[in-house]
Amino acid sequence: MGIHTSVDPETDTVRFLSPEGALCRPIPSSIGDELLVMLYRAMTRTRIFDGKAVALQRTGQLGTFASALGQEAVGVGAAAAMQARDVLAPSYRDHGAQFLRGMTMAECLLYWGGDERGSDFAGPRLDFPNCVPVATQIAHAVGAAYAFKLRREDRVVLTFIGDGGTSNGGFYEALNMAGVWKTPAVIVINNNGWAISTPCARECAAASLAQKSVAVGIEGRQVDGNDVVAVYDTVRQAIEKARAGQGPTLIEALTYRLGDHTTADDATRYRDPELVRREWTREPIARLRAYLTRKGAWSQHKEDALQRECLEEVGQAVNAYLGAQPADCNAMFDHLYAALPASYSYQRDMARRFSPRNGGGHG
């Protein structure tokens, strides 16, 4: 792939499957039915987890949660293209990718329940924890990728950012250095149409967010983010290019946020319900299921079994989360600094003094 000098949304968007699940163009021979079924199962697993997490929040058993409803193809497609030795620098809506990398559902629930043990992944030990500050994960990813380049390590860093985050100065600064240093990094924009309540058209006047790559001299690609095949194949090519020492790629995945921004949001206040209803006809899971069913690679029997399997897995994760012994109050301070400043030491001492687990009278 060479460097695109522009990205035309009308002609350059990569797509293999139509919203009805019909082929728009041949799927590469390297993407067989086994891989497609794996992608379908991973997206379904993510959606069932999302539904349960929102229900837990609504009943006061989980903190604020950011659902990936309707955007499952972005995280699943991108993570499936990574190797175990690569590194993921996620934002706060990327659990679909993190599950494929090895983060457990129980760890995810612990994180959103306010427990720092939810950021200490037992599986992908070298992946970054969730990044809530907007755009800082891009700097982390580019820095780690530059380290891999200096060490001559055969590894790539992949990171995600939302459409609103690309208007943040930190995004531009990190993207610029990715281009200057030619780092082995892949930056995926999850363009779900909304920066909380601000529509994308009021965030940026560019014809596409992928075009932001042009100013920093790296390649920009745009994909249908509801087509998991397009996401997987485009990210796979970008990772191979980065691993070969040919620099970073910025990929804009066009999708739609079918749910609220987080459980603290109410999207019905600012979105046209007719538009949301129309976007439901374009969502990624039904699209791939239609294609697989038409090919004879999927059936109602397999679907029923998958639903049961996912519900059981999610149920076990919920039980593990709800049954976890709460961490003590030191956990709030343990990972802030190598040497805790005096003001924080005072706060920690007060927390210990009043902790119910230490016999204090105040929680």
Which positions are annotated as active-site residues? Answer: 257, 261, 270
73 closest CA partner among 103, 36, 111, 24: 36
Q: What is the distance between the alpha carbons of residues 238 and 233, in angstroms, rounded to a whole number?
A: 9
107 Cβ contact partners less than 8 Å away, ≥ 6 residues apart: 117, 118, 119, 120, 121, 122
Tell me the residue ranges of DSSP E strands in the chain.
13-14, 87-89, 157-162, 185-191, 194-195, 198-199, 219-224, 249-254
Mapped onto helix, strand or coil, the DSSP state of residue 42 is helix
- DSSP label at residue 73: H
**Identity at 82, one-letter amino acid code:** M
Q: What is the distance between the alpha carbons of residues 14 and 3, in angstroms, rounded to a whole number?
A: 16
Q: What is the distance between the alpha carbons of residues 187 and 92, in angstroms, rounded to a whole number?
A: 15
Q: Please spell the DSSP secondary structure of 187-246, one letter per residue.
A: EEEEE-SEETTEEGGGT--SS-SGGGGGGGT-EEEEEETT-HHHHHHHHHHHHHHHHTT-
Tokens of 13: 């968007």
Q: What is the distance between the alpha carbons of residues 301 and 303, in angstroms, rounded to a whole number?
A: 5
Q: Please spell the DSSP secondary structure of 280-325, one letter per residue.
A: HTT-HHHHHHHHHHHHTS--HHHHHHHHHHHHHHHHHHHHHHHTSP
